[in-house]
Amino acid sequence: MKFHHTKISGVVEIRPEPVSDERGFFARTWCQKDFEAHGLNPRLVQCNISYSKRKGTLRGMHYQVEPDAEAKLVRCTKGSIWDVALDIRPGSQTFKSWVAVVLTGEDRNMLYVPEGCAHGFLTLEDEAEVFYQMSQFYNPESARGIRWNDRAFQIAWPAAVEVISERDRTYANFE
């Protein structure tokens, strides 16, 4: 795997390194030792899938507070998404900064989002499927969100938001 560290500490794009032969290929997508070597939380306790029917579906910006703060490893297994990590750690040098990476089923790249960062994505085509691995169990009492278009962050979404849940659309301002 190749690890590309972004401008936000702990947010890392990970690309598998396929080994090909006449059958196809084999590639590692997770290794505890490799994650630890790059300073990433290797704990995995839960995996989820989300499926979005339509291009322009926005999910996010979600996170969990302590004691249930979670790291996520996100991969688009079908279609493509514009995946965003938003630093909401008050002591961080990149507090209120965001990074985005296009994740595709074809490229098989992933985004690691550490604890203390909110996460969300916009589907770039119909029928997008996303696979998440989390370091913490989901706890509805710890679940929080930030409005996708909060002016405090000025996230430059690449296309119009066509579908969004009531919950995601109505989160309060971060400030």
Q: Which residues are catalytic?
A: 62, 132
According to DSSP, the residues that pair with 87 across neighbouring strands are 117
Task: Give the residue among 27, 60, 31 at the shortest CA–CA distance from 44.
Answer: 31
**One-letter amino acid for residue 5 of the chain:** H
d(CA 48, CA 74): 10
- Provide the 8-state DSSP code for 173: P
Sheet holding 110-113, edge to edge: 2-5, 12-15, 110-113, 72-78, 128-134, 46-52
Q: Tell me whether residue 11 is exposed, middle or buried, using C-beta atoms within 10 angstroms of its C-beta: 0 to 12, 13 to 18, 19 or more.
A: buried
Q: Report whether 100 contacts 119 (CB < 8 A).
A: no
d(CA 105, CA 135): 23
